[in-house]
Structure 1
Amino acid sequence: MDLQNKVAVVTGGASGLGQAAVRALVAKGAKAVIFDLNAEAGAAMVAELGSDKVFAAQVNVTDEASVQSGLDQAMEAFGDLHIIVNCAGIGPPAKVIDREGQPLPLDSFKKIVDINLNGTFNVLRLAAAKMQHNQPVNDDQGRGVIINVASVAAFDGQIGQPAYAASKAGIVGMTLPIARELARYGIRVNTIAPGLFMTPLAASLPEAAIESLGKSVEYPKRLGNPEEFAHLVVCMAENDYFNGETVRLDGSIRMAAR
């Protein structure tokens, strides 16, 4: 897919990995629509990159009406929808049994799964319903691409990550069946499973902690740069033979139990 003048929606696009994806897609000539609850950060991205290239909508990915409204705004702003990048997510640690011997509240587990897994599916399903009507953009009758974001926790979940790991494993698990289903419409579906990246949360840690985390990576011995994540997003969007895959982007790390 030639990204020039294609339209991408990036959830969680006002910060971290999503923000890097927005910048990389715009640099390739695409137009980007940011879905983020942080309206101020979204507006800052529009001011930085230009309203002719970026539009920001305050969207709650778990709410059907909110997502539908955001997609309608995207279509109104730029007239099309070709790419979805599902970056929105949360991951607060919480053990099944806490230090006082109390079980993890079910609502806490549900909240993480709702945002990470159900939110991803909510955006995916509503976007695919619009993408199916696109005019083909290439000789393969391609109409769009959906890129979800899981985590290495889907495979190497650590102690304290039962909800987070389950939600990300769910994203991995639905990648192939959805790719198979949407193939008839020329819509590709892939997933990126990032390892340790220098997101704003990681950057807030003490320097010694960042260095220690970097040493746990096989090679290169550092945290990943958001631009490296964004590079893979662009590759998945551009390469029409990239479909139905989950790719770990993690410097070959395998997470320890804790």
Structure 2
Amino acid sequence: MKINGQTFIVSGGASGLGKACVEEICKAGGKVAIFDMNEESGQEIVKGLSSSAKFFVCDVLSTESIASAIRGAVDWSRETGSPLRGVISAAGVATPATMLDRHGKALSLDDFDFVVNVNLRGTIDLVRQSLEHLAQVEPIGPDSERGVIIMVASSAAFDGQKGQVSYSASKGAVTAMTLPMARDLARYGIRVVTVAPSLFDSRMTSVMSDKVRKSLEDAMEFPKRAGQPAEFAQLVRQGIENIMLNGVTIRLDGAMRMPSKM
């Protein structure tokens, strides 16, 4: 699929990996509906991208908030004559906690629910509501493609560290839905691709201590550093443009396998 002249929704698009995807898509001639809670950052990005992007306040924990943002994005895509062709679901959170803390107190179910609701429920809610519109656009190209869903998992889905039960559960579920979702949507000409990054510079990793960051970088085989958001966005662009990428989760991790603990 050619990005030029098409519209894409990016959740979590006001910072980090999502922001890099916004910039990459706009650079390729596409338009982006930025979904995020941070209106100040979102509007700042829009200023730099002019008419190529528009910001919509969206809380992925709220079905109605998602619905409102999608309605706005669809209306905008019609106004600009750039059909909605895809969704990049990059909103995510992490709340590290072990099953039992040092005092023998069990993992907080409220914290578990928060992580799973943002990373998993928020993803599927955004995707399912967007699909009602994606399935209605005119197919393009020789294969009659309508669009693409790109979800964001994590290397923690495969080798989660100590304290990552909630995060690994949410991201593991995202990888598990990739193939059945692709099979569900094949009849509509809509593909599904999931990217599972390891250590990348982002808002989430910016709060890490130097010790934790160094431990993770040491687990990287090559290159021995955190990934850059632009490198993540390059793969997302391939997910959009390469029609043979479908029903797959791609690790983007420099051959890293996370150690059990720091």
TM-score (normalised: structure 1): 0.96
Q: Is the contact between residue 219 and residue 259 of structure 2 (CA under 8 Å) also seen in structure 1?
A: no
User: Where does residue 74 of structure 2 map in the other structure?
Assistant: 75
Residue 119 (structure 1) aligns with: 122
Q: Which residue of 1 aligns with 2:57?
A: 58
d(CA) in 2 for partners of 1:155, 1:210: 19
1:1-258 to structure 2, matched below 5 A, reads 1-50=1-50, 52-79=51-78, 80-205=83-208, 210-258=213-261
1:158-193 Cα offsets, whole Å, 9 max, x none, are 110111000000000000000001000000001000
Structure 1: unaligned runs, 5 residues or longer: none
Counterpart amino acid of residue 44 in structure 1: E
One-letter code of the match for 2:14?
A
Work out whether residues 95 and 166 of structure 2, in 8 Å CA contact, stay in contact via their aligned partners in 1: no
Q: Once the two structures are aligned, what percentage of the paired residues are identical?
A: 42
**Secondary structure at the residue paired with 1:25?**
helix
- Measured against aligned partners, the alpha-carbon deviations of 1:69-127 in whole angstroms (never above 9, x if no partner) come to 11110111122311100000101201111111111121111111010000000011011
Task: Point out where structure 2 has 5 or more consecutive residues left out of the alignment.
Answer: none
The Cα of 1:19 is off from its aligned counterpart by 0.4
Q: Which residue type is aligned with residue 135 of structure 1?
A: E
Q: Which amino acid aligns with 1:256?
A: P
Shift of 1:29: 0.6
Distance 1:85 1:215 in 2: 30
Aligned residues: 257
Secondary structure of 1:82's match?
A: strand
- Provide the C-alpha distance between the structure 2 equivalents of 1:198 and 1:18, rounded to a whole number of angstroms: 12
Deviates more, 1:5-14 or 1:192-201: 192-201
For structure 1, which segment, 84-93 or 198-207, has the greater mean C-alpha deviation from structure 2 after superposition?
A: 198-207
CA distance in 1 between partners of 2:186 and 2:148 (Å):
10
The Cα RMSD (Å) is 1.2
Cα drift, residue 207 of structure 1: 5.4
Length-normalised TM-score, structure 2: 0.95
1:211 deviates by 4.2
Q: Secondary structure at the match of 1:200?
A: coil
